[in-house]
Structure 1
């Protein structure tokens, strides 16, 4: 660790090195090595005409000593780097969160670099007091945070708003990951169903009874009707007249909820109360959305292979997932907490399945469930047309 290393690490001339450049270089090697090199590095920077400030060097020594003693937290190190005056804040007061460095896409990397340059300009203009930030001045910190929030929400000359541009890229990347996982789950489901010794047959009478009961239920207020309507996307639009279409729409929605609960009946106080209790309906929808594709495939594969009459309780499903020969899941049978977590998620599923007739009152898979479960998952995971 020497001045040449810092220059190469930052990719700029020694006279242009900033506190941030030096801080990042110091943190890129073991803290003990940085501590040993710190005095010589300080002298070399001064000799090169870029001495930085005593406050910076003192703060660098302090944080490196804390790191070496294993008492510095990740947050403390992050805040120190931010306090150099040209490091974008990881979480702004406006709740914008920068992606981790190795997770930034091209747009995220571009906007991050643009903000660094903007902050460097503000430091040169005297609008950012880096020494005050390093001393922990709360007023300087607030001004620093507000400056970054303003930049993130101010359109660039090309019309893009930095914060929204980064968020849009993250959403696109997340959707691409979901679509890839969905396609893999669908492919595996089709392989498993195609390999069944006997294909499930539609129990016509059972479907008619289940659909008639479902129509009545969906017209009622409260749980579970409101959750099932949200799952199927029926809020604000009519239900299908066809029994099979109705049943499959709702069953597919349990595996892939289409919409949120209606907020028409929420009061302003309920909507804005962030500390209020989460409703049972919201907890159920959250559980459905939390289930991984791999767990759905593992559960469905086991149930359709075992066929009607198999116990499909939450506890049994959790074990079927953990024992699945088809999918590598995160459920560890040796860990009771993980099994209970899986049981908790599928408790919401099995309850809703009961209203659809997929399982009976004893949580046993029905002929209707055997026929309809793979078709519902096929529908839930097939590419959507918007």
Structure 2
């Protein structure tokens, strides 16, 4: 009993089903099963007996855990059936962060919801015994109650569901910015250590920019992907050749926007069994490549210099063998996945003259790839 009270931070008379369930799950299932009868008697002696349905459900769940047949979902569902545990994922797909991953806002809102549910149990609006018995109507009402709470404004004006989601977004963006800043610093370190700095091949850049301007004026793939990568849907195409080329090359490493709405076709959304279009697949591949993979691949190419093979398969090998990043040992499936992502990259690189028709790195690519990565990872100018 002392352990349960300490875990919950409440006296025995105020313990809820959720408090007891969480305490039981905090120890090995065998230990919890042995302690269950004594705990039940202690709760009765404290004047807080809970209910037979709860104790039966606790015994059944702990027995399933001990037998190795209970799933994570089974256990989560049991805790939720206590009537005061927020649903991990609501019908509208709001998902609470794991307990050890909650920020201050998520922790506050979670605690507020627990308190709200305790009030509703005390008022008789939630029937924990019906939840424990698996009553579908009780479960549906429980879910709807939480959905309404998540979408209703608090006295201070905050909407819990939005507040938690906004905090998660901020944390995600902060982690992304940190990863990007580290990759940029490593890129600059690697470039500074090169025995010879790449020089801009002016003639090759002029020729590539001329071809690129003509390509960007065309409809469909690959022009639409290159425009989206560079963000040319929201701003004009630069007049300066170097600015144009670097904008597109940087966009391949960090796409700025999505395809314009006008290029989405209704049939593509209704055909759920169909494959992604070529442009959607290309953008998805570009967005799936991690900073570390870009860093490892481009660093290897820059060190090796013009004339090195830069095919998708070779890029996957260079990344797997890189000493610039911490990476687990790659099996064939991992290599195949990386190769698949770089299929889109290399095909677009070819259009920019980064590689030639044989997928060999050109002097333009040797000069331009590190410049493009540096641009993609540098903070946007205000």
- TM-score, normalising length from structure 1? 0.96
Structure 2 residue 187 is matched with structure 1 residue 192: no
Deviates more, 1:210-219 or 1:67-76: 210-219
Q: Does 1:164 align with 2:173?
A: no
- Which aligned pairs between 1:154-233 and structure 2 lie closer than 5 A? 154-233=152-231
Matched with 2:349 is 353
Deviations 1:61-120 (A, max 9, x none): 000000000000001100110111000111001110000000000001000000000000
Partner of 2:333: 337
Q: Return the alpha-carbon distance in structure 2 between the equivalents of residues 81 and 44 of structure 1.
A: 21
Greater CA drift, 320-329 or 374-383: 320-329
Shift in Å, 1:282 = 1.6
Question: How far is 1:277 from its partner?
Answer: 3.6
* 1:306 paired to 2:318: no
- State how far apart, in whole Å, the 2-side matches of 1:15 and 1:267 are: 62
- Separation of aligned partners in 2, 1:275 and 1:347: 23
Aligned to 2:376: 380
Residue 25 of structure 1: CA displacement?
0.3
Question: How far did 1:267 drift?
Answer: 4.6
Following superposition, the deviation at residue 385 of structure 1 comes to: 3.3
Q: Which whole-Å CA distance do the structure 2 matches of 1:146 and 1:97 have between them?
A: 15
Aligned residue runs from structure 1 range 97-176, under 5 A:
97-176=95-174
In the alignment, structure 1 residue 260 sits paired with structure 2 residue 243: no
Distance in 2, Cα, partners of 1:274 & 1:90 = 27
Do structure 1's residue 368 and structure 2's residue 329 form an aligned pair? no
Cα distance in 2 between the residues matched to 1:285 and 1:136: 44
Cα distance change on mapping 1:321 and 1:206 into 2, 3 Å: same
Partners of 1:89 and 1:349 in 2: CA distance? 41
CA RMSD of aligned residues (A): 1.3
- CA shift for structure 1 position 223: 1.1
Q: Give distance in 1, aligned partners of 2:167 and 2:89.
A: 18
2:295 is equivalent to residue 297 of structure 1: yes
The range that moved more, 227-236 or 51-60, is 227-236
Higher mean Cα deviation, 251-260 or 318-327?
318-327
Structure 1 distance, partners of 2:199, 2:263, is 42
Post-superposition offset of 1:151: 0.6
Per the alignment, residue 248 of structure 2 pairs with 250
Give the secondary-structure state (helix, strand or coil) at the position aligned to 2:262: coil
The Cα shift of 1:273 comes to 5.9
Query: 1:294 Cα deviation (Å)?
Result: 1.0
Aligned-residue offset at 1:276: 5.0
Q: Which runs of 5+ in 2 are unaligned?
A: none
SS of corresponding position for 2:261: coil
Separation in 2 of the partners of 1:350 and 1:291? 13
| TM-score, L = length of structure 2 | 0.97
1:238 is aligned to 2:236: yes
1:231-282 C-alpha deviation (Å, 9 max, x unpaired)? 1111143211111111100000000011111122435564466665432222
Are 1:295 and 1:329, in contact at CA under 8 Å, matched by a contact in 2? no
* Per-residue Cα deviation, 1:294-341 (whole angstroms, up to 9, x for no partner): 1111111110011000000011111111111222124x34x1111111
Q: Is the 8 A contact 1:15 1:48 kept in 2?
A: yes
Quote how far apart the aligned CAs of 1:287 are: 1.2
